[in-house]
A = this chain, B = another copy of it.
Amino acid sequence: MPKIVDHDRYRKELLQGSLDLFAERGYGSITMRQIAKGLGVSTGTLYHYFPSKESIFMQLVQELCEQDISSFFAQAPEAHTLEERLQAVMAFVVQNAQFYCQQLVLWVDFFQQTSPSDEGEIHFLRQVWDRTRGTLADYLQLTDPALVDFIVVFIDGLILQHIYSRVYEQGSKDTAWLHQQSQLMIRMILHHEQNFPQPQT
């Protein structure tokens, strides 16, 4: 009778735990020993669950993708106006800024580590993004793809600045700043909608 462990469940726990580590030091700079130590296991155990460092990273990227927005729409509030819906989305982003920062950093790493020939991995990411964009468009009830792209671009930029904000000692670009910028963006979208209303579906 073997030691009873839910292999797959434990693997995902390790994956979850390694997110912080990869995000903080980067794929190329973190070592397996550091990961093992950070997770509180031995290197041997790590290799019992993952065949290689690359595999941990790739599985982590995939795991993250699956959590992405599903968690938002599980708690998304009913909202009748575009403004309310935008507020809900941005509130969610601001609230999970920390998480998105890590995801962003991981993706940049991912693109450095991946050669264009790794079609499998890249194709997977593409699907996730397309789906995310679609879900967002549906929730916001926006039909203009360019407008959805605009929102995505803005969110990405916001997250990136949040990463950079580590530079500003007293955190002048903290949650308040994220909120302020979000409001600015929402106002702009609303004005834009007023002037160039969406065709009704």
Name A's B-contacting residues (CB within 8 A): 24-30, 104-105, 107-109, 111-113, 116, 122, 125-126, 129, 146-147, 149-150, 152-158, 160-161, 163-164, 166-168, 177, 180-181, 184-185, 187-189, 191-192, 195
Copies in the complex: 4
Q: Separation in Å of the A152 CB from the closest CB of chain B? A: 7
Our pick among B161, B168, B195 for the contact of A152 (Cβ within 8 Å) is: B161
The smallest beta-carbon distance between A137 and chain B, in angstroms, is 15
Instruction: Determine chain A's interface SS by DSSP, over half rule.
Output: helix
B160/A160 in contact, CB under 8 A: yes
Is A26 within 8 A of B113, CB to CB? yes
Closest to A168 in B: B126
A/B interface sample: 14 pairs, CB < 8 A: A25-B112, A26-B113, A27-B28, A28-B29, A105-B111, A108-B108, A122-B167, A147-B184, A149-B177, A153-B160, A154-B154, A160-B160, A191-B191, A191-B192
Give the chain B neighbours of A150 by CB distance below 8 A.
Answer: 181, 184-185
Let me know if A108 and B111 touch, CB within 8 A: no
Report the minimum CB–CB distance from A99 to chain B (whole Å).
16
Cβ–Cβ contact A109 & B26, under 8 A: yes
Residues of B within 8 A of A152 (CB): 157, 161
A108 to B153: give the CA distance in the assembly, Å: 17
CA distance A168 to B112 in the complex (A): 16
Partner of A149, one of B122, B129, B181: B181
